[in-house]
């Protein structure tokens, strides 16, 4: 166990998170970094198990920090520190492989739950992982005729596959079982805000406007059962 590195640009926030993390046995030892360079220096010396990363860490920024961290500590699990409405930063970081996010003022119980979940499951490769594809519509039967209809010279492309991450599938399954975002979060050891972020992403990928439509599309496409 190589512990946690708290990487945040604010001294006040960083020190508070260090104190909060010290109270979580599974996060020991706790190290702090005020910049991406300090984070990478820690990771090169002793790769951390978990990194709590400021979504708005100064240049080169959180996204580049995740990319560089993957090169020196590929097994480190990154949890972003951001507000729930910071959707642009969260979407980019989750796409790069961040495991989720927490509010910068996270309390010890939630931090403990997230740490337990991260430690219990392996780090997935960065980027979305294909899970299933929406099947193409069945080809209509040929009309009764002496000869089959010749195929079109340039057939129109079929529907593009729908690609959801493992976490998005789990959230969708929870929705199909009638779970609220809070209940899904409890089952997956995620904050409710993290569940909402995954839900927004899967709605966009499926072209759904609400939970019911997302579940219907998932069932029709074989993404869930």
**Residue ranges per structural domain of the chain:** 4-120, 166-220
Per-residue pLDDT for 163 more than 90?
Answer: no
How would you list the strands of the sheet with 50-54, edge to edge? 30-33, 4-7, 50-54, 77-81, 100-102
Per-residue pLDDT for 121 more than 70?
Answer: no
Mean pLDDT of 134-147: 35
Q: Which residues contact 77 (CB under 8 A, 6 or more apart)?
A: 49, 50, 51, 99, 118, 123
Rounded distance between C-alpha atoms, residue 37 and residue 54, angstroms: 13
> And the tokens for 9?
């640009």
Rounded distance between C-alpha atoms, residue 134 and residue 223, angstroms: 8
CATH architecture label of 166-220: Orthogonal Bundle (1.10)
Helices (H), 23-156: 36-45, 62-72, 87-95, 108-120
C-beta of residue 78 within 8 angstroms of C-beta of residue 53: yes
Rounded distance between C-alpha atoms, residue 57 and residue 91, angstroms: 16
- Say which CATH topology domain 4-120 has: Rossmann fold (3.40.50)
Rounded distance between C-alpha atoms, residue 168 and residue 122, angstroms: 16
What is the pLDDT confidence band of residue 5, given thresholds at 50, 70 and 90? Answer: very high
Environment class of 102 (CB within 10 Å of its CB; exposed 0-12, middle 13-18, buried 19+): buried
Which one is predicted more confidently, 70 or 221? Answer: 70
Q: Is the pTM of this model over 0.85?
A: no
DSSP 3-state of 26: helix
What is the pLDDT confidence band of residue 1, given thresholds at 50, 70 and 90? Answer: low
């Amino acid at each position: 166990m190589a512990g946690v590195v708290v990487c945040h640009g604010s001294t006040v926030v960083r020190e508070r998170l260090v104190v909060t993390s010290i109270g979580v046995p599974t996060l020991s030892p706790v190290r702090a970094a005020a910049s991406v360079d300090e984070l990478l220096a820690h990771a090169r010396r002793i790769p951390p198990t978990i990194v709590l990363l400021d979504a708005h860490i100064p240049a080169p920024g959180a996204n580049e920090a995740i990319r560089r961290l993957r090169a020196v500590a590929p097994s480190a699990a990154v949890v972003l520190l951001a507000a729930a409405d910071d959707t642009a930063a969260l979407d980019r970081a989750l796409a790069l492989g961040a495991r989720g996010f927490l509010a910068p003022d996270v309390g010890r119980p939630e931090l403990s739950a997230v740490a337990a979940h991260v430690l219990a499951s392996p780090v997935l490769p960065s980027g979305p992982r294909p899970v299933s594809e929406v099947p193409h519509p069945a080809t209509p039967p040929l009309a009764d005729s002496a000869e089959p209809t010749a195929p079109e010279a340039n057939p129109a492309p079929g529907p593009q596959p729908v690609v959801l991450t493992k976490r998005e599938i789990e959230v969708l399954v929870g929705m199909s079982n009638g779970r609220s975002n809070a209940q899904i979060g409890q089952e997956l050891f995620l904050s409710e805000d993290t569940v909402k972020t995954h839900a927004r992403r899967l709605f966009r990928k499926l072209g759904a406007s609400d939970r019911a439509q997302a579940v219907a599309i998932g069932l029709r496409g074989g993404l869930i059962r």
